Amino acid sequence: MYNLLKGKKGIIFGALNEHSIAWKVAERAHEEGAEFVLTNAPIAMRMGELNTLAEKTGSQIVPADATSMDDLNNLVEKSMEILGGKIDFVLHSIGMSVNVRKGRHYTDSKYDFTMKGFDVSALSFHKTMNVLYNKKAMNEWGSIVALTYMAAQRVFPDYNDMADNKAYLESIARSFGYFFGRDHKVRVNTVSQSPTPTTAGSGVKGFDGFISYAEKMSPLGNATALECADYTISLFSDLTKKVTLQNLYHDGGFSNMGVSDAVMDKFVTE
């Protein structure tokens, strides 16, 4: 390892189990010398295995509903108390669509479900940065990263309203990132990851097809959760101090492909 995060302190949202990208980020951040607080919604913590990760990484857990300003204020205050100072990095790895879970088609959304998913998946990012910004909780040259998916730019029919949520998430990163950079020298980026078999991703209809198609389209193949963690660590490090307001594709080249030989072979007959 490289000690890329030696002495740095952070907050990691969204680790649920060993398949979670946030879980892999936590493991890699620990290996690179960081200290951090783990957080997830109380209901998610009951479903997951967060205590195992906390023990493995020597971290403390502060439960928080990321849609609640009270919870977020408490999280940031407790984290600074636990870590003994301001924060250097934050990972927002949260996404949920009630419409997807309930099998509602995009053209027949239940809008109470839509609003709940929007609050959890996108608006929570704005709320989190609101608290960090107004409490001046981030060190200069700190880094905030949120995970996204390229359905924010292109149509993936069964990704449903999560596509809208991710588009809004990316816009928040740019808009809030401007003020965070100007006023506190903090960078804000999103990472657009390959389809990854996490608990959240696997709930999308046809997800196995997403993965197979992307694998055949991408010249380097799909990026794994661990590879995404490595990339995220680089964004938390001082090696990327001037990278901000970016939506960074980490997808083996998929995002720049029109078609590949492997895909064309499925349609061309001799």
CA dist 160 and 156 (Å) reads 8
Q: Can you state the angle between helices 21-31 and 225-236, rounded to 10 degrees?
A: 50
Report the mean per-residue pLDDT for the chain. Answer: 95
pLDDT attached to residue 255: 96
pLDDT attached to residue 204: 65
Evaluate whether 269 touches 250 at the Cβ level (below 8 Å): no
Work out the average pLDDT over 129-135: 98
Q: Is pLDDT of 67 > 70?
A: yes
For residue 160, which of 198, 197, 110, 208 has the smallest C-alpha distance?
110
Reading phi first (left if > 0) and then psi (alpha if -120 to 50, else beta), residue 228 is in alpha
Strand, coil or helix: 154: coil
pLDDT attached to residue 266: 86
Evaluate whether 259 touches 268 at the Cβ level (below 8 Å): no
Q: Using the structure block, give the residue that is written with the tokens 């960078």.
A: 187
DSSP state, residue 70: H
Give strand pairing partners of 138. 87
Cα angle value 18/21/27 (rounded, 5°): 65
pLDDT attached to residue 200: 63
Strand, coil or helix: 186: coil
Give strand pairing partners of 191. 147, 248
Q: Is pLDDT of 233 > 80?
A: yes
pTM of this prediction?
A: 0.96
Tell me which long-range contacts 123-128 makes (C-beta under 8 A, separation of at least 24): 123/67, 123/168, 124/66, 124/67, 124/92, 124/94, 125/92, 125/94, 125/169, 125/172, 125/173, 126/172, 126/176, 127/66, 127/67, 127/69, 127/72, 128/13, 128/66, 128/72, 128/90, 128/92
Q: Residue ranges of the alpha helices (H) in 4-123? A: 21-31, 42-47, 50-57, 69-83, 98-101, 111-118
> 220 CB contacts (<8 Å, ≥6 apart)?
252, 253
Work out the average pLDDT over 176-201: 92
Q: Is pLDDT of 270 > 60?
A: no
Evaluate whether 117 touches 98 at the Cβ level (below 8 Å): yes
pLDDT attached to residue 208: 79
Q: Is pLDDT of 128 > 80?
A: yes
Q: Percentage of the chain surpassing pLDDT 90?
A: 89
pLDDT attached to residue 235: 98
Q: Is pLDDT of 261 > 60?
A: yes
Q: Is pLDDT of 47 > 90?
A: no
Sheet strands (E) in 105-176: 138-148
CA dist 244 and 186 (Å) reads 8
pLDDT attached to residue 269: 67
Q: Is pLDDT of 207 > 90?
A: no
Give strand pairing partners of 146. 92, 190
Q: How far is CA 241 from the centre of its chain?
A: 19
